[in-house]
Amino acid sequence: MRAVETLQSFFEGSGLEGVVVEPHPGRASLIVRIEGTDPSAPSLALVGHTDVVPVEAAGWERDPFAGEIVDGWLWGRGAIDMLDLTASYAVVMRALATGGAGGAAGAFRPRGDLIFAAVADEEAGSGLGVDWLTKNRLDLIDADCVLTESGGAPTGAKPSISVMIGEKGLAGRVLRVTGRPGHGSAPYGARNAAVIAAEAVTRIAAFRAPTVISPLWRQFVDALAADGVTHGRLVDPLHFFEGLPGVGALAGYAHASTHTTISPNILQAGEKENVIPGSGRIVLDIRILPDVRPADVEGYLREALGDLMEDIVIEGDQFGESTVSPTDTPLYGALQNAVRRVYPGGELLPMLGVGGSDGRFYRRRGVPAYGFGLLSERWDYGTFRQLFHGNNERIDLESLELTVSALDHVVREFHG
């Protein structure tokens, strides 16, 4: 709600009012619309979340919530995820409505509707944000095309500008571990659920799901301009892991882009120091590649756990498919043109996001959604990923200017 009020006061005097929804006290979203002149023209939504993830303040060199600007950098949680974009959308909307910035000739009337949705809850699964809006107020946020997080980092020499055209899917599971309770003073031969769970976690961590070299991944490796040996390994399922040390900070992304990943993130067993636990619980964060089915997930877990399955039951049926948008759309063309104005010869680099974004709620309904922004030459995709949810999150002011200018261009080209 604080973010909504901040945006409302920013829009004051611009004629933009918007609608506020608050499905849960304090968890509000603001949706602002500029109506198009042609009801049959396609509409465009700029969807930015207003929430951020927590910080571990001890790891920061500056106050993560002060929004300090130091030597041309704006510091703070959310600087690149994704308050930079949400704020840029707001700036573009206001400029279009009032004729400020690029619109010296007066207010801009788009051909189709232009929607700005500043939404809650993305970092918490979107249940009180875009998921709720999709189920209850689709009329407010629906559009024919969508821009959202993330993207915009120059990569490679040409350069290539990352644009998220899709994201992996979710298929989290819980493992219930059964042992036999007993007295902690005589552990020999016990069936300790904590010991079984620890072994299960170790096996899952060591498990390798199949390496999938997709056309999107090949394109990313080409753009990296790595040395020939590393390049060859990164597109070869048999030697992929040998190529990972060659990509430095991008190793985690490289692995997640080419594999369904299973991360054991919560492990619980035991309540009292002198009782051998009879039960345990392991929560798995599972992110699936396109075309992976629930039966595949079950198969991976059975293969990883082997004979431990005698003491383990797999629970849960979460299944959100991976979603990918086509790139042969007018909006994608407008993104490409916006990039070339800043980076002559620059190409868009379509990528599969390995985390989640609000884009999936649109893609599932067949609406193309791209993660787009435009960062300065100070950035590369590895640095971007390190700061995303990391310590010392920040953005240079030049990148904010580039992003606002690119978005302004995109809207004018798409809706002009």
Task: Name the minimum Å distance from CB 312 to Zn ion.
Answer: 34
Task: Name the minimum Å distance from CB 249 to Zn ion.
Answer: 19
The residue (of 129 and 346) whose beta carbon lies closer to Zn ion is 129
The residue (of 264 and 353) whose beta carbon lies closer to Zn ion is 353
Task: Name the minimum Å distance from CB 81 to Zn ion.
Answer: 4
410 to 309, 339, 414: CA distances (angstroms):
53, 10, 6
**Three-class secondary structure of residue 132 per DSSP:** helix
The residue (of 151 and 346) whose beta carbon lies closer to Zn ion is 151
The kind and range of the H/E element at 206 are helix 193-206
The residue (of 240 and 379) whose beta carbon lies closer to Zn ion is 379
Concatenating the DSSP letter of every residue in 5-70 gives HHHHHHHTTTT---EEEEEETTEEEEEEEE--S-TTSPPEEEEEE-------GGG-SS-TTS--EE
The residue (of 96 and 256) whose beta carbon lies closer to Zn ion is 256
The residue (of 81 and 408) whose beta carbon lies closer to Zn ion is 81
The residue (of 221 and 256) whose beta carbon lies closer to Zn ion is 256
Residues 94 and 10: beta-carbon distance below 8 Å: yes
Beta-ladder partners of 170: 287, 320
Task: Name the minimum Å distance from CB 314 to Zn ion.
Answer: 30
Task: Name the minimum Å distance from CB 77 to Zn ion.
Answer: 11
Task: Name the minimum Å distance from CB 204 to Zn ion.
Answer: 27
Q: How many other CB atoms are there within 10 angstroms of residue 345's CB atom?
A: 8
Task: Name the minimum Å distance from CB 395 to Zn ion.
Answer: 13
Q: Which of 88, 93, 89 is nearest to 103 (CA)?
A: 93
Task: Name the minimum Å distance from CB 78 to Zn ion.
Answer: 8
**Three-class secondary structure of residue 116 per DSSP:** strand
The residue (of 311 and 393) whose beta carbon lies closer to Zn ion is 393
**Three-class secondary structure of residue 280 per DSSP:** strand
Q: Which of 363, 373, 357, 358 is nearest to 329 (CA)?
A: 363
Beta-ladder partners of 324: 166
CA-atom Rg of the chain in angstroms: 24
Euclidean distance between CA atoms 66 and 79, whole angstroms: 11
Euclidean distance between CA atoms 185 and 55, whole angstroms: 41
Which positions lie near Zn ion, rule CB under 5 A? 81-82, 149
